[in-house]
Amino acid sequence: MIGVLSSLSEDLVAIVAKAGPAVVRVEARRRFPASGIVWSSDAVIVTAHHVVEQEDNIRIALSDGQTIPATLIGRDPATDVAALRAQVSGLTPPVWAEPDSLRVGHLVLALSRPGKTVHATLGIVSALGEGWTTPVGGRVDHYLQADVGLYPGFSGGPLVNAEGHILGLNTLALLRGIPITVPSPTVRRIVEGLLADGRIRRGFLGVGTQPVRLPSPVAQQLGQETGLLIVSVAPGSGAEKAGLLLGDTIVNLGGQPMRHMDDIMVFLGDVQMGTKLPIRILRGGRLRELSATVGERP
């Protein structure tokens, strides 16, 4: 037993030694520093959006002890991902792993660099799931949760598998203090978008809604029990231009039934700005067909 534990211990040390150099300290808030991950050799650093509280005077500390200035490339609050560019050259990015081969129970490490040295916590993959949408409308490709301790300074750091490859970016900000890992495919998609545009473009209709039960005859006709009652319409939005009114109930958008609070936001997440969508509404007890042009979410 001692030999098994000793071998496992040395293996964990090797994993930290392999992935640790790609973990940096991010000084972008007044409180405790956070962590980041080297993304590319041209000094792009990926970290958590919520730890970048200041957009000026950002500093990055590397594994060799250098502390260098960095600038904000862009951020995406909806997935809690931000990209920075450090004023340095010759960084070595780590290997990013796809989460497809992960299983609940696999050993993983969370790494951080809140000080001069790398910190690590050990745990297992505790939950895996399909793609999901964050409370503020960001699409995440896989649900990935590990029971690693994310102590102060761990946000923005990586979750690492047994090969020392990066599975994703750790954060406590997406689900009210629950440790979640933004998986590598999502990080890749967001960083590429930030490098291209400095922000992530998402569709916007311009309505505030709440779920309501449909009248029985309408529910039977449509095959759905609820719709989305419009409680606000943004001035100048696609919804206003389409003629949507307070009190209308949206039952279908772009061919998809609208039943729950976040259905519109989820649906528009993958729709290009400028797309014209058919909207089916209930107004005055009668079903009507309108169309609206998708704008860009502010």
Q: Which of 50, 119, 142, 248 is catalytic?
A: 50
Contact, 250 vs 280, CB < 8 A?
yes
Res 222: pLDDT: 94
Q: Which of 76, 80, 248, 263 is catalytic?
A: 80
Residue 297 has pLDDT above 70, yes or no: yes
CA separation for the pair 124, 7 (Å, rounded)? 18
Higher-confidence residue: 140 or 30? 140
How far from chain centre, in Å, is Cα 203?
16
pLDDT digit string (tens) for 129-179? 999 988 888 899 999 999 998 999 999 999 999 999 999 999 999 998 789
- 11 has catalytic annotation: no
Beta partners for residue 67, in sequence order: 61
How far from chain centre, in Å, is Cα 279?
28
Contacts of residues 221-228 at CB distance under 8 Å and 24 or more positions apart, as own/partner, are: 221/287, 222/251, 222/252, 222/257, 224/251, 224/257, 224/259, 225/259, 226/259, 226/260, 227/251, 227/258, 227/259, 227/282, 228/258, 228/259, 228/261, 228/263, 228/264
| Lowest-confidence region among 61-70, 123-132, 256-265 | 256-265
Residue 22 has pLDDT above 70, yes or no: yes
CA separation for the pair 202, 268 (Å, rounded)? 7
Res 2: pLDDT: 73
pTM for the predicted model, two decimal places: 0.84
Beta partners for residue 37, in sequence order: 23, 46
Architecture of the structural domain at 203-296: Roll (2.30)
Q: Which of 155, 184, 237, 263 is catalytic?
A: 155
CA separation for the pair 42, 13 (Å, rounded)? 28
CATH 2.30.42.10 domain locations along the chain: 203-296
Average pLDDT, the chain: 93
CATH 2.40.10.120 domain locations along the chain: 1-198
For residue 99, report the phi and psi dihedrals to the nearest 5 degrees.
Answer: -80, 5
pLDDT digit string (tens) for 67-80? 999 999 999 999 99
Residue 267 has pLDDT above 90, yes or no: no
Burial 114-140 (b: 16+ CB within 10 A, else e): beeebbbbbbebeebeeeebbeebbbb
Higher-confidence residue: 148 or 298? 148
All residues at 6 or more sequence positions from 227 whose CB lies less than 8 Å from its CB, including other chains: 211, 212, 214, 249, 250, 251, 258, 259, 282
Beta partners for residue 204, in sequence order: 295
CA separation for the pair 262, 267 (Å, rounded)? 9
Residue 269 has pLDDT above 80, yes or no: no
Residue 298 has pLDDT above 90, yes or no: no
Contact, 265 vs 137, CB < 8 A?
yes
Contact, 170 vs 215, CB < 8 A?
no
- 50 has catalytic annotation: yes
CA separation for the pair 298, 295 (Å, rounded)? 9
- 89 has catalytic annotation: no
- Write the CATH number of the domain with boundaries 1-198: 2.40.10.120
* Predicted confidence band of residue 1 (pLDDT cuts 50, 70, 90): low
CA separation for the pair 132, 232 (Å, rounded)? 26
